[in-house]
Each structure stands twice: as C-alpha cells, then as structure tokens.
Amino acid sequence: MAVPKKKTSKSRRDMRRAHAALVPVFGGECQTCGEKKRPHHVCPVCGHYNKRPVLKDSRVSE
C-alpha cells in the first residue's frame, strides 16, 4: 500500500484547506418583499411563494 513519506504538517494541511470553505448560496430574492431567499422555498420573511401568500402570518398586512 502506498504510504506518505512525510507527515503533513498542520501548516500544509491548513493551507490545503484554505479553499475548502463553504460559501452561502442564495438563489435569488423574494419577489414580494425583496429579501434574499433560497430557491424553491417559501420566503421565511413574508411567507409568500410565487407572489402568493402561502403561510398564515400576522406580519403580512393585506
């Protein structure tokens, strides 16, 4: 079995992982309130989906 000749130092290991950070994904913004929201999900701020209220929310005034 192939075995690494030298131990990977903490510095090398961390340098390798410098590009491994996860970046938040935002598919777009809510068409009703303009807040950033995940794609194909109901807006958590105003409870709208596809410009339609789908959640009962007292914060929405209609």
| In the complex, minimum distance from the CB of residue 22 to Zn ion, in angstroms, rounded to a whole number | 24
Please give the angle made by the CA atoms of 42, 47 and 48, to the nearest 5 degrees: 70
Decide: 24 and 11 in contact? Cβ < 8 Å: no
| In the complex, minimum distance from the CB of residue 2 to Zn ion, in angstroms, rounded to a whole number | 53
State the residue for tokens 């929310």. 57
Q: Which is nearer to Zn ion, 19 or 51 (CB)?
A: 51
Q: Which is nearer to Zn ion, 16 or 38 (CB)?
A: 38
| In the complex, minimum distance from the CB of residue 25 to Zn ion, in angstroms, rounded to a whole number | 18
